[in-house]
């Protein structure tokens, strides 16, 4: 029976970058991903950086994949991992196909989208914004003739642009009306505050949009009060923080949405209902770390709003308190793909260091850790303004967990 040095779950930027480091150090590695193509969420990405250059996710994932293949990395696609079992000195990775035995595991499963239920959201033609991205940029399928985006955030704005570039007509972007699930996305002040604090870092046109908000920074309520009736335009498409979608209508599929005006508190203005014909609706409910496998193998968690939800506790070198389990990429917090890639490098080097214990690798590891921070600071897409604080919380939690673990061992 083969025992791997490491099984990497997820072939996104984090998993692939880690695999490259492990293979450069000659470890026995297998990368597993349930999607039929390697690259993860990178595959759908296409945006313009502030310096004018384009970030083309397909090219970026090709580069990673080519490097991994040149190092003869075993990458198995279409393989879902449904459990990680912890034995005394190894882990068993359960997949439909077979079991993989390994000394170390890197969980790089990325992020998932939060649902934003609004009346009518189960009609055919309603999809998450990420699904629209994958259909458009990965599968090259036109999602519809004319649509609308419900939910205004960095991700939905970036993907709206991608849909436009693909020649798909969008009516506008608007908020969802308030309900228990979408309370944050439906609050105009919160949405504006988030956009104004991050937009100065985001891609090209978004900067201009950002500066429009930034100008109003100290008078954000005023800005909302006098928010232009026709919305603030980005690439010719109105973004409304003063209008919200109350429901999606249709018999067998999406036929229209009901749009209402909302006050700066997100309250619906009476008699403001308008029906807008569309044949598809994208709902953007935000992202959260996909950490189910870390949970089943017993990693402790910490809640961080800044990082997007419940995060498996880990340190700067991506180790969790469960010895041999590592995490990297969006499972550790919602950030851009460049950060995920650098984190993957760190995890790969950390695993190589654990297995080979060489000074050379240790030095590379330290440099890679610094690189994560530098990449984070320079990232053109930031999902939350408080990412660095969130990171600090997680790192403190790791130290505390390790301290408690030690104390418990002493008691035993």
Partner 1 sequence: MKDTIICRCEEITLGDLEEIAKKHNSSAREIKLLSRAGMGFCGGRTCRPAIDKILTNITKENPSDALPLKVAPPVRPISLTDLGGFGKDDE
Ligand X SMILES: Cc1cc2nc3c(=O)[nH]c(=O)nc-3n(C[C@H](O)[C@H](O)[C@H](O)COP(=O)(O)OP(=O)(O)OC[C@H]3O[C@@H](n4cnc5c(N)ncnc54)[C@H](O)[C@@H]3O)c2cc1C
Q: Is 336 in the site for ligand X (CB under 6 A)?
A: yes
Q: Is 271 in the site for partner 1 (CB under 8 A)?
A: no
Q: Is 400 in the site for ligand X (CB under 6 A)?
A: no
Least spacing, CB of residue 128 vs ligand X, in Å: 7
Q: Among ligand X, partner 1, none, what binds residue 226 when CB lies within 5 to 8 Å by partner kind?
A: none
* Residue 31 region by backbone torsions, left for phi larger than 0, else alpha for psi between -120 and 50, else beta: beta
Cβ neighbourhood burial of 371 (10 Å; 0-12, 13-18, 19+): middle
CA geometry: angle at 406 spanning 331 and 302, to 5°?
25
Yes or no: say if 144 and 279 are a contact pair by the CB < 8 Å rule.
yes
Pick the closer one to partner 1 by CB: 115 or 277.
115
Q: Among partner 1, ligand X, none, what binds residue 258 when CB lies within 5 to 8 Å by partner kind?
A: none
User: Which residue has 């039929």 as its token pair?
Assistant: 36
Judged by CB under 8 A, the stretch of 22-30, 95-103, 222-230, 324-332 that binds partner 1 is 95-103
Strands 274-277, 256-261: pairing kind: antiparallel
The residue count of the chain comes to: 412
User: DSSP per residue over 110-150, as a string?
Assistant: -EEEPP---TTTTSTTEEEHHHHHIIIIIS-----SEEEEE
Helix axes 188-198, 204-215, angle to 10 degrees: 120
Q: 116: closest CA among 286, 262, 259, 254?
A: 286
Of 112, 131, 166, 268, the residue at the interface with partner 1 (CB under 8 A) is 112
Pick the closer one to partner 1 by CB: 64 or 132.
132
Q: Is 375 in the site for partner 1 (CB under 8 A)?
A: no
The alpha carbon of 144 is separated from its chain's Cα centroid by a whole number of angstroms, namely 25
Pick the closer one to ligand X by CB: 120 or 333.
333
Q: Is 8 in the site for ligand X (CB under 6 A)?
A: no
Least spacing, CB of residue 11 vs ligand X, in Å: 5
Encoded one letter per residue, x for contact with ligand X by CB under 6 A and - for no contact, window 169-208 reads ----------------------------------------
Least spacing, CB of residue 40 vs partner 1, in Å: 17
Which residues from 108-137 bind ligand X, rule CB under 6 A?
108-111, 113, 130, 133
Yes or no: say if 282 and 121 are a contact pair by the CB < 8 Å rule.
no
Yes or no: say if 241 and 173 are a contact pair by the CB < 8 Å rule.
no
Q: Is 376 in the site for ligand X (CB under 6 A)?
A: no
Q: Among partner 1, ligand X, none, what binds residue 114 when CB lies within 5 to 8 Å by partner kind?
A: partner 1
Q: Among ligand X, partner 1, none, what binds residue 301 when CB lies within 5 to 8 Å by partner kind?
A: partner 1
Q: Among partner 1, ligand X, none, what binds residue 158 when CB lies within 5 to 8 Å by partner kind?
A: ligand X
Residues in contact with 319: Cβ distance below 8 Å, sequence separation at least 6, in sequence order: 325, 326, 350
Pick the closer one to partner 1 by CB: 109 or 317.
109
Residues in contact with 206: Cβ distance below 8 Å, sequence separation at least 6, in sequence order: 154, 157, 158, 199, 234
Encoded one letter per residue, x for contact with ligand X by CB under 6 A and - for no contact, window 277-296 reads ----------x--x--x---
Residues of this chain that interact with ligand X (CB under 6 A) are 9-15, 32-35, 40-42, 45, 47, 80-81, 108-111, 113, 130, 133, 155, 158, 287, 290, 293, 329-330, 336-337, 340, 381
């Amino acid at each position: 029976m083969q025992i791997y040095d490491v099984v990497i779950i997820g072939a996104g930027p984090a998993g692939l970058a880690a695999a490259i480091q492990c293979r450069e150090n000659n470890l026995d590695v297998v990368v597993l991903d349930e999607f039929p193509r390697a690259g993860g969420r990178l595959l759908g990405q296409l945006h313009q950086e502030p310096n004018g250059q384009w970030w083309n996710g397909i090219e970026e994932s090709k580069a990673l994949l080519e490097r991994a293949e040149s190092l003869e990395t075993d990458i198995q696609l279409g393989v879902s991992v449904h459990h990680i079992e912890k034995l005394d000195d190894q882990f068993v990775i359960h997949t439909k196909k077979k079991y993989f035995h390994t000394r170390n595991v890197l969980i790089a499963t990325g992020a998932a989208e939060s649902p934003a239920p609004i009346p009518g959201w189960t009609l055919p033609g309603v999809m998450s914004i990420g699904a629209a991205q994958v259909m458009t940029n990965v599968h090259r399928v036109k999602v519809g003739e004319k649509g609308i985006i419900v939910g205004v955030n960095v991700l939905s704005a970036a993907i709206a642009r991608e849909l436009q570039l693909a020649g798909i007509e969008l009516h506008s972007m608007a908020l969802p009306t308030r309900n228990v699930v979408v309370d944050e996305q439906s609050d105009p002040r919160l949405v504006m505050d988030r956009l104004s604090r991050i937009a100065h870092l985001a891609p090209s046109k978004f900067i201009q949009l950002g500066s429009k908000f930034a100008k109003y920074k100290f008078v954000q309520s005023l800005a909302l009060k006098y928010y232009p009736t026709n919305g603030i335009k980005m690439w010719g498409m109105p973004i409304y923080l003063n209008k919200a979608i109350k429901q999606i209508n249709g018999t067998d599929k999406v036929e229209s949405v009901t749009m209402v005006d909302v006050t700066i508190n997100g309250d619906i203005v009476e008699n403001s209902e308008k029906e807008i014909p569309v044949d598809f609706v994208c709902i953007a409910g935000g992202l959260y770390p996909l950490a189910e496998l870390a949970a089943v193998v017993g990693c402790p968690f910490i809640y961080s709003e800044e990082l997007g939800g419940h995060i498996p506790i880990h340190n700067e070198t991506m180790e969790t308190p469960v010895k041999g389990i590592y995490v990297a990429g969006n499972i550790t917090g919602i950030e851009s793909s460049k950060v995920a890639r650098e984190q993957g490098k760190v995890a790969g080097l950390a695993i190589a260091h654990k297995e080979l214990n060489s000074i050379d690798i240790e030095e590379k590891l330290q440099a890679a850790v610094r690189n994560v921070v530098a990449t984070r600071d320079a990232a053109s897409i930031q999902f939350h303004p408080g990412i660095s604080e969130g990171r600090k919380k997680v790192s403190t939690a790791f130290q505390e967990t390790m301290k408690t673990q030690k104390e418990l061992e002493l008691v035993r």
